[in-house]
């Protein structure tokens, strides 16, 4: 049903949500148990399993009351300039530093956009959120990346765990 490559993608998705390998393994295992228990197998097994992982993660966060909610102004314009994430040269240090500063929702959007190569419309459909919300998150991710890039260029010897200023 799911080959090794698909399982690895699902694990990376779970890891993008939790940022902890053990928690990601638990999410994946729980999702696979639910998938196996299904009487009727879904047509798109990988997408269905991703949805199970996401729902389990949200449930866990709600139980622990640690989910990060952001107020989103639906009618506020999104300030997107012509420079996009694809045009930024990303070094490994920037990515590691960036991931430390992203919340769960931003890591999920970044994973779907960068790894799964979904469009913003596809991400919005998958997450059942407005496209403007996804664009706002990508904009905030880009701004955080630019800030980290500037910090690391000012002080290239700064360690990833400390503030570069």
Candidate from 13-22, 61-70, 152-161 with smallest mean pLDDT: 152-161
Query: CA 120 to CA 131: how far, in whole Å?
Result: 6
Residue 161 has pLDDT above 60, yes or no: no
Mean pLDDT of the chain: 78
Note the pTM of the prediction, 2 decimals: 0.54
pLDDT tier at 164, thresholds 50, 70, 90: very low
pLDDT tier at 87, thresholds 50, 70, 90: very low
**CB-CB contact of 145 with 88 (8 Å):** yes
Task: Note the pLDDT of residue 38.
Answer: 85
Full set of structural domains in the chain with CATH = 4-64 (no CATH), 85-154 (1.10.10.10)
| Cβ burial, residue 102 (10 Å; 0-12/13-18/19+) | buried
């Amino acid at each position: 049903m799911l080959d090794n490559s698909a399982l690895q993608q699902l694990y990376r998705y779970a890891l993008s949500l939790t940022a902890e390998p053990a928690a990601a393994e638990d999410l994946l295992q729980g999702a696979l148990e639910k998938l196996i228990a299904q009487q009727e197998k879904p047509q798109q097994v990988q997408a269905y399993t991703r949805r199970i992982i996401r729902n389990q993660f949200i449930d866990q966060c709600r139980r622990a009351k640690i989910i990060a909610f952001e107020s989103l102004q639906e009618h506020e314009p999104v300030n997107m300039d012509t420079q996009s994430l694809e045009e930024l040269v990303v070094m490994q240090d920037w990515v590691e530093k960036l991931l430390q500063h992203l919340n769960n929702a931003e890591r999920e959007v970044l994973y779907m956009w960068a790894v799964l190569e979904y469009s913003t419309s596809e991400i919005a459909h998958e997450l059942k959120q407005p496209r403007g919300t996804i664009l706002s998150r990508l904009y905030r991710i880009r701004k955080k990346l630019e800030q980290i890039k500037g910090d690391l260029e000012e002080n290239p010897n700064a360690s990833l765990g400390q503030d570069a200023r």
